[in-house]
C-alpha cells in the first residue's frame, strides 16, 4: 500500500491533530480524592442536614463540580428549603436527592411558605384545638378526663394509625 493511499498517513494525522488544537481539553473526571479539605468539610455539613440520605457519592461529585460561590449559596439556603418541606408537609419520597437538588440549582427556587394553620400540627396548643382533633378522630372525652389525658389518647391513636 502506498503511503499516500493511507487515510492516516503522517500528513493526514498532522492535519487531523492540528484541526483540534484550539479546542479546550475536556475536564478531568472528578473522583473522591479531588475535593480539597474545605469542600469535603462543607459537603459533610450539607449531607448531615439534608433530610433524604440517598446517593451520597453522586452528590459528592456534583458538589465538587460546583463553584465555591454556588456551594456557599446552596449550603446557606438549605435550612429554608428544609423548613419549607416541613411546613408544606412534603413526603420524604418527594424531596429530591441531594445530587438532583444541587445539579438543578434548586437552592435558587422561589419558595412561598404556606400560612400555618391548626390543621398543620398546632391543634395541641389550645383546648379547643384538642377538642376539634378528638372529634375529627372520633374520640369522645371521658368523664373526669383532663385535656392532657385526652391529648395523650389522641397521640396514641395517631401513632397506631
Mean pLDDT of the chain: 78
Compare 159 and 11 and report the one with higher pLDDT: 159
pLDDT above 90 (res 97): yes
Of 69, 86, 108, which marks where a domain is finished?
Answer: 108
> What is the reported pLDDT for 57?
93
| Domains: count for the chain | 2
Does some domain include residue 23?
A: no
Record the pTM.
0.52
pLDDT grade for 17, boundaries at 50, 70 and 90: low
Compare 50 and 28 and report the one with higher pLDDT: 50
What is the C-alpha to C-alpha distance for residues 68 and 53, in angstroms, rounded to an integer? 23
> Residue 42 sits in which domain range?
28-108
Does some domain include residue 34?
A: yes
pLDDT above 90 (res 101): yes
Whether 73 and 138 map to the same domain: the answer is no
Whether 90 and 138 map to the same domain: the answer is no
Whether 104 and 39 map to the same domain: the answer is yes
Does some domain include residue 5?
A: no
Amino acid at each position: 500500500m502506498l503511503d499516500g493511499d493511507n487515510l492516516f498517513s503522517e500528513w493526514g494525522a498532522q492535519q487531523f491533530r492540528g484541526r483540534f488544537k484550539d479546542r479546550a481539553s475536556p475536564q478531568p473526571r472528578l473522583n473522591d480524592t479531588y475535593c480539597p479539605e474545605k469542600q469535603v468539610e462543607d459537603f459533610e455539613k450539607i449531607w448531615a442536614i439534608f433530610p433524604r440520605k440517598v446517593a451520597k457519592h453522586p452528590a459528592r461529585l456534583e458538589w465538587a463540580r460546583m463553584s465555591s460561590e454556588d456551594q456557599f449559596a446552596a449550603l446557606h439556603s438549605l435550612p429554608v428549603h428544609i423548613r419549607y418541606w416541613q411546613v408544606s408537609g412534603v413526603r420524604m419520597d418527594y424531596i429530591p436527592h441531594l445530587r438532583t437538588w444541587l445539579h438543578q440549582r434548586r437552592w435558587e427556587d422561589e419558595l412561598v411558605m404556606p400560612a400555618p394553620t391548626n390543621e398543620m400540627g398546632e391543634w395541641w396548643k389550645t383546648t379547643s384545638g384538642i377538642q376539634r382533633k378528638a372529634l375529627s378522630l372520633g374520640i369522645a372525652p371521658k368523664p373526669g378526663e383532663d385535656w392532657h389525658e385526652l391529648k395523650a389518647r389522641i397521640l396514641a391513636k395517631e401513632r397506631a394509625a
